Amino acid sequence: MPAPSAACSRCAESRPPQRGQRGAAVLLALLAMSFAVLVAATVIADYGRGYDSLAGRRDQAQARQLARAAVDWARNVLAQDDKESSTDHLGENWAVKIPATPLSADPADGSVGGEIADLSGHFNLNDLSPGGKPSEAARLRLQRLLENLGEAPDSALAAAVAISAWITPAARGAQDEAPHAPLLAVAELERIPNLPPGLAGRLAPYVTAVPAPSRINVNTAPAEVLSALVSGLSLDRARVLVAERERAWFRDLADFGTRLPEGATQPASQLADVRSRYFLVTVQAGYGVAAAHLQALLDRQERWPEILWYRIP
Domain residue ranges of the chain, discontinuous segments joined by +: 50-119+277-311, 132-205
- Nearest residue to 300 (alpha-carbon basis) of 196, 217, 198: 217
Residues 277-284, mean pLDDT to the nearest whole number? 97
CB 156 within 8 A of CB 146: yes
Residues 208-237, mean pLDDT to the nearest whole number? 97
- Nearest residue to 249 (alpha-carbon basis) of 12, 10, 11, 14: 14
Do you know the residue count of the chain?
313
What percentage of residues in the chain have a pLDDT greater than 70?
Answer: 81
Choice between 54 and 206, residue whose per-residue pLDDT is larger: 206
Name the pLDDT band for 6 (thresholds 50, 70, 90). very low
Give the per-residue pLDDT at 269. 95
Choice between 215 and 3, residue whose per-residue pLDDT is larger: 215
Give the per-residue pLDDT at 25. 53
- Nearest residue to 249 (alpha-carbon basis) of 88, 10, 23, 81: 88
Whole-model pTM: value is: 0.83
What residues contact 116, with CB distance under 8 A and at least 6 apart? 74, 77, 78, 94, 95, 279, 280, 281
CATH no. for 132-205? 1.10.40.60
- Per-residue pLDDT at 236 exceeds 90: yes
Burial class (CB in 10 A: 0-12, 13-18, 19+), 39: middle
Give the per-residue pLDDT at 10. 42
Give me the half-sphere count of Cα atoms (radius 13 Å) on the Cβ side of residue 199.
Answer: 27
- Per-residue pLDDT at 310 exceeds 90: yes
Pick the CATH number of 50-119+277-311 from 3.30.1360.200, 3.30.1300.30, 3.40.109.10, 3.40.50.1820: 3.30.1300.30
Q: What is the pLDDT of residues 238-271, one digit of tens each?
A: 999 999 999 999 999 999 999 999 999 999 999 9
Give the per-residue pLDDT at 180. 85
CB 203 within 8 A of CB 228: no
- Per-residue pLDDT at 54 exceeds 90: no
| 291 DSSP β-pair partners | 286
Q: What is the pLDDT of residues 99-157, one digit of tens each?
A: 888 887 787 778 899 999 999 999 999 999 998 999 999 999 999 999 999 999 999 99
- Average pLDDT over the chain, rounded to an integer: 85
Q: What is the pLDDT of residues 27-51, one digit of tens each?
A: 445 545 544 454 455 445 445 444 5
- Per-residue pLDDT at 14 exceeds 50: no
